[in-house]
Amino acid sequence: MSKLGVFLNDTGKAIYKRLSDHCSQNNVLFSIDDIMISNLAFWLMVQWDCSADYEKEEGFIQKTKSGYGQVSPKYAMMVKAQEMVAKLSPPFGITPGDRAKIFAGMKQEKKKGFNLKAK
């Protein structure tokens, strides 16, 4: 992870390790993927940390000085994190559906093979 993960806290580093292990086990990891995996780990970390704060606070609605309720900034960050995770995760096969697409593509490539004979 070297300098790529400097923005990750302990939770983010644990998420990064699990993502990296998952991708390595499924043979969908290339050296350049460290960048995207650390980015995905960051957004999962943000989502995790924001949702953990939900229990400590009065939910995600905060009252303004005038008494109106508004969505808290932490909730907005959690929603943004969910959007980013949804965008970044498919190539790494995080969900069963994404894994099925990846492995189906791998099987197709394997079936095609390489034709080394000139036509």
pLDDT of residue 57: 59
Return the pLDDT at 114.
46
Alpha-carbon distance of 35 to 4, in angstroms, equals: 7
**CB 81 within 8 Å of CB 46:** yes
Cα–Cα dist 82/51, whole Å: 11
Beta strands per DSSP E along the chain = 61-63, 69-71
Nearest-5° angle of CA 43, CA 75, CA 91? 25
Region at 59 (left for phi over 0; alpha for psi -120 to 50; beta for the rest): left
63-106 confidence digits (pLDDT tens): 888 988 888 888 888 888 888 888 888 877 777 777 777 777 65
The per-residue pLDDT for 116 is 45
pLDDT tens figures, 4-45: 667 888 988 998 888 888 878 877 677 777 788 888 888 888
- Going by their DSSP bridges, the two strands 61-63 and 69-71 should be labelled as antiparallel
Q: How confident is the model at residue 53 (pLDDT cuts 50, 70, 90)?
A: low
Q: Tell me, yes or no, if the pTM score tops 0.75.
A: no
The dihedral formed by the CA atoms of 10, 12, 16 and 22, expressed in degrees to the nearest 10: 100
